[in-house]
């Protein structure tokens, strides 16, 4: 009798462990999809970093945290406007919905996004504070069980060093909440310290090359898996081909260190974004990206390609 009871307990324990691993794996997939969507949609920063170099006032553009508008390397001709509000509808085909290394399934995704940010100047020259709220939803055409939302609240400080080739340093806090389909009920909450350093090289008035690095340090998460520490290194080339047409090409290497267990992933991502400004506020984009992931647990290896477009509206005030 006792042996039978022990066997039942063991079977229940194995089943609960399998369910826990499956849930954590699903959360990791959606975490990766949300991150890749931010990286591929555009190569502009969440807000402007305005520097004065003596001969010219311009916006130092960045490929990082691209949520609120397309990048434009243009001379600033109006007063500083600290608020940015935007809505957009990215839509794209993806080759590997579940981010698996076998039995890949493709699908079409529509991922509407809305965001608002406030970036006031502070009394210290070249120092800006910022606060932003962002919500993005992911709707799959066929595999609707993967539908989810990603909600972010971020605050921080950004400082530019004009004497150091406009080196940009950023430190902040980001709360990310992954939510169930058409609901604000969460299945993963993450509190992160965000750090960034970026060095832009302005080739001429229309072209720029940027290199940088990010760190996303998870302070606490609920549930604990798939909590991880994220680091990446990137390079971006951007060019304003005409007054209305912008092109950005980026490459990124990523490192994910998971808090539970010994899992470590290394990933690569390349993306191309062409944006055409229909008006000062409306734009249309073509988006292409390819990403690969290599893990010390080979079951988590995968490759994925995405291609599509986006329609966006943004306004400064």
Span 190-204, average pLDDT: 96
Span 25-31, average pLDDT: 78
- Farthest-apart Cα atoms in the chain, separation: 87
Query: Mean pLDDT highest for which of 37-51, 73-87, 97-111?
Result: 97-111
Give the predicted TM-score (pTM) of the model.
0.82
pLDDT at 265 exceeding the cut of 70: yes
Rounded Cα–Cα distance for residues 39 and 66 (Å): 7
What was the pLDDT predicted at 25? 59
Query: Coil, strand, or helix at residue 41?
Result: helix
Span 233-243, average pLDDT: 96
What was the pLDDT predicted at 28? 86
pLDDT at 21 exceeding the cut of 60: no
- Better-predicted residue by pLDDT, 3 or 55: 3
Using alpha carbons only, give the angle 313, 314, 317 rounded to the nearest 5 degrees: 150
To the nearest whole number, what is the mean pLDDT of the chain? 85
What was the pLDDT predicted at 129? 97
- What is the tens place of the pLDDT at every residue in 70-103? 334 344 445 889 999 999 999 999 999 999 999 9
Euclidean distance between the first and the last CA atom of the chain, given in angstroms as a whole number: 74
- What is the tens place of the pLDDT at every residue in 138-191? 999 999 999 999 999 999 999 999 999 999 999 999 999 999 999 999 999 999
Span 209-237, average pLDDT: 96
pLDDT at 17 exceeding the cut of 90: no
Q: Is 65 left (phi over 0), alpha (psi -120 to 50) or beta?
A: left
Please give the backbone phi and psi of residue 146, each rounded to the nearest 5 degrees, phi first: -85, -5
What was the pLDDT predicted at 46? 35
What was the pLDDT predicted at 3? 58
pLDDT at 31 exceeding the cut of 60: yes
Fold type of domain 2-316: Porin (2.40.160)
């Amino acid at each position: 009798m006792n042996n039978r009871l022990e066997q039942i307990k063991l079977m229940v324990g194995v089943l609960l462990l399998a369910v826990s691993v499956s849930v954590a794996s699903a959360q990791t997939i959606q975490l990766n999809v949300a991150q890749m969507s931010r990286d591929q949609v555009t190569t502009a920063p969440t807000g402007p970093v305005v520097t004065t170099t003596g001969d010219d006032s311009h916006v130092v553009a960045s490929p990082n945290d691209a949520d609120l508008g397309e990048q434009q390397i243009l001379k600033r001709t109006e007063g500083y406007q600290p608020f940015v509000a935007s809505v957009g509808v990215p839509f794209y085909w993806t080759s590997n919905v579940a981010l698996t290394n076998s039995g890949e399934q493709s699908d079409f995704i529509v991922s509407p996004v809305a965001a608002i940010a406030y970036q006031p100047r502070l009394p210290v020259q070249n120092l800006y504070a910022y606060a932003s709220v962002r919500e993005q939803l992911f709707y799959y055409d066929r595999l609707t069980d993967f539908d989810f939302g990603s909600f972010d609240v971020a605050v921080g400080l950004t400082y530019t060093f004009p004497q150091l080739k406009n080196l940009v340093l950023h430190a902040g806090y980001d709360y990310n909440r992954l939510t169930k389909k058409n609901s604000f009920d969460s299945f993963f909450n993450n509190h992160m310290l965000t750090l960034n350093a970026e060095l832009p090289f302005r080739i001429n008035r229309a072209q720029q090359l940027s290199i940088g690095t990010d760190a996303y340090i998870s302070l606490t998460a609920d549930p604990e898996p798939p909590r991880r520490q994220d680091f990446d290194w990137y390079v971006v080339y951007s060019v304003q081909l005409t007054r209305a047409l912008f092109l950005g090409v980026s490459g990124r290497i990523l490192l994910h260190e998971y808090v539970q267990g010994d899992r470590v992933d290394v990933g690569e991502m390349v993306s191309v974004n062409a944006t055409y400004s229909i008006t000062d506020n409306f734009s249309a984009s073509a988006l292409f990206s390819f990403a690969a992931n290599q893990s010390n647990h080979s079951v988590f290896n995968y490759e994925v390609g995405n291609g599509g477009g986006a329609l966006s509206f943004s306004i400064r005030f």
